[in-house]
């Protein structure tokens, strides 16, 4: 079964989300507090996607995201935010979320986002069993891991997809739209800003000095380049 966690403290919103996801073929697990959500994930390690409301009594959705991500790099995480401003702080996505949806959202939009993330977190059928080696980096496309100087760097599935795209196109300027389409898919309904947020997070992981990036360089007014 395709398991999705829905964390939302407002009963009517949670039911609305659950009904729509069930209709789309998902097996939903529900939680109304952050603490409960962490417990549900502990008991159901096969949950592939988690929808996390931000504003909650007790620990908030960002904290749940951070804790989930600390033990599980693979789970797909979508934040449900009340206002766009919450995400402008960027801190939300910096905690490790893959995507966010702003309330109020339509059932179609939400389902499309979950579908897209679910597909990505499942991994592609791997035909290539290769490695891409660009010192100091080594990308293993079979087990989807990245090493820098022999040290494993923990990546989310989305971050892995971005790095793979870069390493397959070394030295090539990639537009933000190109990155969005390659990683999030043509059907992605969100904003291109998600690319910048993921790049910012990736820089913290791969750069020697994230404030002065040497590997992921900015191509002003266009996008990014893997600087080899």
Q: Are 91 and 44 in contact (CB under 8 A)?
A: no
d(CA 79, CA 77): 7
Which residue, 32 or 141, is less far from Ca ion as judged by CB? 32
Which CB, 41 or 80, lies closer to Ca ion? 80
CB of 20 to Ca ion, least distance (A): 18
Q: Rounded to the nearest whole angstrom, what is the least distance from the CB of residue 49 to Ca ion in the complex?
A: 19
Residue showing the smallest CB distance to Ca ion in the complex: 55
Q: What minimum distance in Å lies between the beta carbon of 34 and Ca ion?
A: 11
Distance in angstroms (rounded) separating the CA atoms of residues 49 and 97: 11
Minimum distance of Ca ion from residue 106's CB (angstroms): 19
For binding to Ca ion (CB under 5 A), which residues are involved? 9, 53, 55
Q: Closest separation between CB of residue 80 and Ca ion, Å?
A: 8
Q: Return the number of the residue (55 or 189) whose C-beta is nearest Ca ion.
A: 55
Q: Is the Cβ of residue 62 or residue 160 nearer to Ca ion in the bound state?
A: 62
Which is nearer to Ca ion, 11 or 46 (by Cβ)?
11
């Amino acid at each position: 079964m395709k398991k999705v966690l829905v964390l939302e403290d407002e009963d009517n919103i949670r039911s609305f989300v659950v009904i729509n996801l069930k209709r789309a073929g998902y097996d939903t697990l529900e939680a109304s507090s952050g603490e409960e959500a962490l417990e549900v994930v502990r008991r159901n390690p096969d949950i592939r996607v988690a929808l996390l409301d931000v504003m909650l009594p007790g620990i908030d959705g960002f904290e749940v995201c951070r804790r989930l991500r600390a033990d599980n790099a693979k789970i797909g995480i979508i934040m449900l935010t009340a206002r766009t401003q919450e995400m402008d702080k960027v801190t939300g996505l910096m905690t490790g979320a893959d995507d966010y949806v702003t309330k109020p959202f339509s059932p179609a939009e939400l389902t499309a986002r979950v579908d897209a993330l679910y597909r990505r977190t499942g991994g592609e059928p791997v035909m290539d069993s290769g490695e891409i080696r660009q010192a100091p980096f080594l990308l293993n496309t079979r087990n989807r891991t990245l090493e820098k100087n022999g040290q494993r760097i923990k990546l989310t599935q989305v971050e892995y997809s971005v790095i793979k795209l870069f390493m397959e196109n070394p030295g090539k300027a990639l537009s933000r739209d190109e990155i969005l389409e390659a990683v999030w898919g043509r059907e992605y309904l969100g904003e291109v800003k998600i690319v910048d947020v993921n790049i910012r997070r990736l820089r913290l992981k791969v750069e020697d000095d994230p404030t002065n990036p040497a590997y992921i360089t900015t191509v002003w007014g266009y996008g990014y380049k893997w600087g080899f």
